[in-house]
């Protein structure tokens, strides 16, 4: 508003133009759930959300964490997009919460991702009630607004009220990095078209300890022998 007024000569300048407000970090500092926390999250979903939690939300959590699909892409995923024989998932659409319809994925990032065993096992538990893989509790389309009602109690129950379904995408990016994939390879699986820049900046949360252990393995050393004294002293 002040920018428009300055351009029209109604005010001398925009008093807010040089505030240098902090740019949002896009979840860059999100604490990625550990493998144990992921398991607790899945178990809690089944416990707190009843039959739907067991047959939909728990598989949703495990599938999302091991495929890296965006929440909107998960809501739009159809059984016809899943190739259980070829172990692939075709990502063709996402559900737009604002437009209330299916649209192409963000950045037009249609792609085919690998279906790892953990994600494949999760699909085996899903109740097939419609063409979409994941459905709402009453059988309708699963959307962000529906998830916004059922997700928070589960996240709070494991001590992670900060964690959203999108956080599972960060788990995936970090998992691929720990398995040795290069940033540009992770970007391809996550639907980024920047060669890995966004993956490095926001989605790969590899720690110093991860890096140290990988270096130790590369040199054929025992990882336990390379722990800092501070870490060694804290173990029982």
Strand order in the sheet with 88-91: 82-83, 88-91, 111-114
What pLDDT score does 214 carry?
72
Encode the chain (236 residues) as per-residue pLDDT tens digits.
545 444 445 555 666 555 554 444 445 568 889 999 999 999 999 999 999 999 999 999 999 999 999 999 999 999 999 999 999 999 999 999 999 999 999 989 999 999 999 999 999 999 888 899 999 999 999 999 999 999 999 999 999 999 999 999 999 999 998 888 899 999 999 998 888 887 677 777 766 667 767 777 777 766 555 555 444 444 44
Task: Tell me if residue 65 falls in helix, strand or coil.
Answer: helix
CB contact at 8 A, 83 and 115:
yes
Cβ atoms 153, 105 nearer than 8 A: no
* Of 49, 22, 30, residue with least CA distance to 162: 30
Question: Which single residue is written with the structure tokens 């994941």?
Answer: 134
Which domains are delineated in the chain?
Answer: 35-163 (1.10.443.10), 171-232 (no CATH)
Q: In the numeric block, which tokens belong to residue 196? A: 């890995």
């Amino acid at each position: 508003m002040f920018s428009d007024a300055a351009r029209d000569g109604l005010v001398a300048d925009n008093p807010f133009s040089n505030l240098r407000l902090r740019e949002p970090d896009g979840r860059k500092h999100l604490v990625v759930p550990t493998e144990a926390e992921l398991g607790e999250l899945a178990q809690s979903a089944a416990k707190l959300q009843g039959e739907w939690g067991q047959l939909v939300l728990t598989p949703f959590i495990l599938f999302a964490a091991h495929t890296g699909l965006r929440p909107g892409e998960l809501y739009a995923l159809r059984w016809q997009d899943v190739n259980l024989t070829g172990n692939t998932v075709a990502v063709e659409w996402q559900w737009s919460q604002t437009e209330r319809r299916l649209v192409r994925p963000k950045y037009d990032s249609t792609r085919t991702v690998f279906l790892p065993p953990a994600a494949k096992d999760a699909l085996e538990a899903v109740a097939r009630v419609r063409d979409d893989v994941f459905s709402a509790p009453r059988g309708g389309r699963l959307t962000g607004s529906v998830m916004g009602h059922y997700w928070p109690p589960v996240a709070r129950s494991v001590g992670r009220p900060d964690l959203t379904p999108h956080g599972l995408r960060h788990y995936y990016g970090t998992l691929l990095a720990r398995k040795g994939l290069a940033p540009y390879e992770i970007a391809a699986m996550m639907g980024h078209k920047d060669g890995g820049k966004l993956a490095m900046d926001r989605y790969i949360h590899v720690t110093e300890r991860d890096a140290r252990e990988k270096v130790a393995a590369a040199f054929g050393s025992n990882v336990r022998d390379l722990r800092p004294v501070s870490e060694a002293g804290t173990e029982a």
